[in-house]
Every structure is written in structure tokens, then in C-alpha cells.
A and B are shown apart, each in its own frame.
Chain A
Amino acid sequence: DQQVKQNSPSLSVQEGRISILNCDYTNSMFDYFLWYKKYPAEGPTFLISISSIKDKNEDGRFTVFLNKSAKHLSLHIVPSQPGDSAVYFCAASVSSGGSNYKLTFGKGTLLTVNP
């Protein structure tokens, strides 16, 4: 049972345009969400996160939007750069109850930014 779903295995955008990566979740207990970026032969690196008490969090070119009622979050990258080409993983956790370390990941979306 995939509790975190990234339904688009890949996405291709032009440099300078907006990249929108989507993520859906089914577990209503999730209250903290993270995006990780992964280059080939490297481990995932933390990008940005959002708590369920917010609906938006911004960090430079990266913005994450959370729609709790739809159990949906998205990562916007504006403007997209060729160096953003990587696999992006959405992850979720339950921040209370002592298991806040347990991250549930989606399968990832490969973003390709074309020059």
C-alpha cells in the first residue's frame, strides 16, 4: 500500500520555466512533509519541508504548497535551471508519538531541465 504517491515518473521543462512536481498521500496522520533531491550516485539531500499547520513554505526558488483537504502537496521550482535536473522524492512523517523519524517516501519524479 503506497501511502505517498508521486504519479509522474518523469517531467521535462525548459530552462527558465516553472517546474511543478506533485505528491499525494493517503495517511491522514501525516503532518510533516519533505522534499528531497537526488543526483545519480549520491544520497538524497534535503530540499524543503512543510508542517501541516501551514499551506505554503518558500525558500528561494523553491516553494512547497500543501492542500490538506485534498491530501496533496506540490513543489514549485521557479525559474528552473539545468542543475535542478535530478530525481525528486516526496516524503511524509507523523511528528508526534515518538516516531517522527520515520519517513515514508514516494517513488520519485525525474526532473529534466533542458537548456
Chain B
Amino acid sequence: SAVISQKPSRDICQRGTSLTIQCQVDSQVTMMFWYRQQPGQSLTLIATANQGSEATYESGFVIDKFPISRPNLTFSTLTVSNMSPEDSSIYLCSVGGTDYNEQFFGPGTRLTVL
């Protein structure tokens, strides 16, 4: 299994600002995923980030709001732009295992927007 770290672990931000979340993996992986877990809700896939190509966004998520970078096979960032209180969530990155049905998750970033 991969070891995944995220920075920051938590943050409190003012509305209208942006936050960039970093995800670092201890091994090279092709696909990285970003999820959001709003309070009391399930984990929802935001986008899939492949190295060397544009991220693929799920329905309801757009690049202007959640720009993603994937500069190499061990690192990715997710930016939450122009934040509002509705963006208060836990944001998690994950990578696929040998079977992509199985994914390994980072510890998450708990974001509170005031």
C-alpha cells in the first residue's frame, strides 16, 4: 500500500480566499484522486488527476473552482478557489492500488470557511 501525506491537515479561511492542498505519495502512481466529504455526507469524487494531462472533473465540479495540478507521479495539488462557507469540508486525496477498485487515502485536510 502507498503512504500518502497531505498538507495542511486543517485550516480556517476567510470567504473569498483560496487554499491549496498538497498531496504527496511515497511511490509513483499513475492516477490520483481528490474527494470531498461535506459534514454528515459521503465522500464524493471531485476529479481524477493524471500526470501530464488535464484533470477529469466529475459532474458538479469545475476547474475554475477546483484547479488541480499534477506535476509528477508522486505529487498533486487541489486548490479551493473563492471559498464560501459551503466549501467547509474534509478534502482527501487517494491513489489506486494494484486493483483500481481499491484506493488508498491520505489523512485528509479539514477546511473551515468563515
Report A-chain residues with C-beta under 8 Å of the C-beta of B58. Answer: 102
Interface check B27, CB cutoff 8 A? no
A94-109 contact mask (Cβ, 8 Å, vs B): 1 or 0: 0100001111111110
With beta carbons under 8 angstroms apart, the residue of B1, B4, B94, B101 that contacts A32 is: B101
A43 within 8 A of B: yes
Min CB–CB distance B90 → chain A (angstroms): 9
Q: Which chain A residue shows the least CB distance to B1?
A: A46
Cross-chain contact B43 with A101 (CB below 8 angstroms):
no
A41, A93, A100, A105: the one contacting B43 at CB < 8 Å is: A105
Partner of A106, one of B4, B42, B96: B42
A103 to B43 alpha-carbon distance, docked (Å)? 9
- Nearest CB of chain B from residue A87's CB, rounded to whole Å: 10
Q: What number of A residues sit within 8 Å (CB to CB) of B?
A: 25
Interface assignment of B113: CB less than 8 Å from any CB of chain A? no
Q: How far in angstroms is the closest Cβ of chain B from A77?
A: 19
Also in contact, A100 and B42, with CB within 8 A (given A41-B107, A43-B4, A43-B106): no
Q: Which residues of chain B (80-102) have a CB below 8 Å from chain A?
A: 92, 94, 96-97, 100-102
Residue-by-residue, is A27-70 near B (CB-CB < 8 Å gives 1, otherwise 0)? 00000101010000111111001000000000000000000000
Chain A residue contacts of B104, Cβ below 8 A: 43, 45-46
17 contacts between A and B (CB under 8 A): A36-B105, A42-B107, A45-B104, A45-B105, A89-B42, A89-B43, A93-B101, A95-B101, A100-B100, A101-B48, A101-B103, A103-B45, A103-B101, A103-B103, A104-B42, A107-B40, A108-B42
Q: Which 10 A-B pairs have the closest CB atoms?
A: A43-B105, A105-B42, A105-B43, A101-B100, A107-B42, A32-B101, A44-B105, A43-B107, A43-B106, A46-B102
Which A residues contact B (CB, under 8 angstroms)?
A: 2, 4, 32, 34, 36, 41-46, 49, 89, 91, 93, 95, 100-108
